[in-house]
Amino acid sequence: MGRNRVSLEICEACAEAVKLADVDVIAAYPITPQTHIVETLSAMVADGILDAEYINVESEHSAMSCCIGSSAAGARSFTATAAQGLALMSEMLFIASGLRLPIVMALVTRTLSAPLSIWGDHSDVMSVRDCGWITVFAENGQEVFDFTLQGFRIAEDERVLFPFMVCLDGFHLSHVIEPVELISEEEARDFLPIYRPRYRLHPNEPISMGCFAMPEYFMEIKKRQDEELKASYDVIIEVWEEWEKRFGRSYAPLVTYQTEDAEAIILIAGSYAGTARLAVDDMRKKGLKVGLASLKLWRPFPLRDIREILGRTEVVVVVDRALSVGGAGGPMACEVRSAFHGESPSPKVVSFVAGLSGRDILRSDFEEMVQRALSHAEKGELPYYEMFGVRE
């Protein structure tokens, strides 16, 4: 293709995408493992490579508050965070969505304390599952770069106007150097037009945002938010199709591997889909009909894709990297079960919670989970969920 293929740390690839998006405001507070993104952006602004306001704030709550203010004024705004930082800004995440502000954020997924840990899992993103952001999971550096740029385009679309969160796994992605195909500034400008907000705070045309709503209005406003977040699905697909035409890389809410004849399908989000793909090859060599679905789109929840792709198989092995403490299963597994409730035929959904706080999930672990799931399904004994790889 003759494209500009370079080796980049994935945090830097994310920063490159933000630079190509020509953002107006970056408000950020450093936190491991996200720091390299905002550090790189800070250097770009200081060196005059990127013409943006870089606002050093005193907390993540302020970072998101800043982005809400700047986005409300019509500025293209970006921030990045992880784990405790996300928890601290969680109040403002709901507000950013409720105000329908197209902020883009990179979430470098990391485990929530306690115990204190800097390693990766999805406990942070799952804790804000209901905040009303479009949420995607990247599997590698290229996807981080692509999703970040696509994020601005999708978020700012008049038919969407929702904030957009790109999840990339802490360390397994953030700190890894990978080859990434960049696009040129001209291509980026062509793909991502100047943001023209439907509403913005401007002294010449005063409006109020974030108003109080009485109970007789509140539910209608939330219903509209819910319907429009679901409707953003079509725009996401449209932008992904355009991206493929322009740059040759295709995306889907669930990217599948060997699922056509699969009797069991592993469902996982994020970087471990790469390991799972190798595990599928191992199992296929042994004659096991196993496939993989790598979940890219988490919100809006791709209900139709889940039913179409996973509904064709006998057993779905959901591997969640988050624990709903005292709950009924991994967060993804619970929603997949919901998707099939009352459906017939319906696959047996087996929920595993694995890879918490950076614990490795090996190829052989995926095989063991599949074997255990098949055995559970055969016996008709389906535990709500199992924490995999825990010492007894």
Partner 1 sequence: MADLPSWRTIDHACIVSQPGNASEYLTGDWRSRRPVLDREKCVRCGRCWMFCPEPAIIVDEGGEYSFDYRYCKGCGICARECPYDAIDLVEECEDGQE
The binding track of 213-232 with respect to partner 1, each residue x by CB under 8 A or -, is x--xx-xxx-xxx-x-----
For partner 1, which is the closer residue by CB, 190 or 217?
217
Do β-strands 386-387 and 297-299 pair in parallel, antiparallel, or remain unpaired?
unpaired
Residues 6+ apart with CB under 8 A from 200: 72, 73, 74
Which residue number, 73 or 209, has a Cβ lying nearer to partner 1?
209
Site residues (CB under 8 A) for partner 1, limited to 254-313: none
Contact mark string toward partner 1, 134..173, x via CB under 8 A? ---------------------------x------------
Least CB distance to partner 1 at residue 220 (A) = 4
Q: Are 300 and 351 in contact, with CB atoms under 8 Å apart?
A: no
Q: CB of residue 31 vs partner 1: minimum separation in angstroms? A: 29
The answer to whether residue 47 forms part of the interface with partner 1 (CB under 8 A) is: no
For residue 4, the cross-strand partners are 182
Using CB under 8 A, pick the residue from 43, 177, 207, 390 that binds partner 1.
207
Q: Which is nearer to partner 1, 217 or 390 (by Cβ)?
A: 217
Kind and range of the H or E element at 104?
Answer: strand 104-109
Three-state DSSP at 181 gives strand
CB 144 within 8 A of CB 36: no
Kindly indicate which of the ranges 163-171, 202-210, 235-243, 346-354 contains the residues binding partner 1, using the contact rule CB under 8 A. 202-210
Q: Nearer to partner 1 by C-beta: 161 or 310?
A: 161
Question: 298 with 249: CB under 8 angstroms?
Answer: no
Q: Starting at the edge strand that comes first in sequence, how are the strands of the sheet with 386-387 ordered?
A: 254-257, 290-295, 264-269, 315-320, 348-353, 386-387
Q: How far apart are CA 388 and CA 385, in angstroms?
A: 9
Tokens at residue 310, please? 């996973």
Give the whole-angstrom CA distance, residue 306 versus residue 103. 27
The nearer residue to partner 1, 5 or 224, going by C-beta atoms, is 224
Reduced to 3 states (helix: H, G, I; strand: E, B; else coil), residue 337 is: helix
Binding mask 92-131 for partner 1 (x = CB under 8 A): ------xxx-------------------------------
Pick between residue 97 and residue 142 the one whose CB is nearest to partner 1: 97
Among 115, 208, 245, 325, binds partner 1 (CB under 8 A): 208
Among 211, 325, 326, 380, binds partner 1 (CB under 8 A): 211
Rounded to whole angstroms, how far apart are CA atoms 315 and 370?
9
- Closest CB to partner 1 among residues 69, 98: 98
Total site size for partner 1, rule CB under 8 A? 22
CA gap 183, 194 in Å, rounded: 17
Q: Which of 196, 198, 245, 379 binds partner 1 (CB under 8 A)?
A: 198
Residue with Cβ nearer partner 1 (43 or 231): 231
Residue length, the chain? Answer: 392
Sheet holding 25-28, edge to edge: 53-56, 25-28, 77-81, 104-109, 164-169, 134-137, 297-299
C-beta of 224: minimal distance to partner 1 in Å?
5
Question: Can you give the binding site for partner 1, defined by CB under 8 A?
Answer: 98-100, 161, 198-199, 206-211, 213, 216-217, 219-221, 223-225, 227
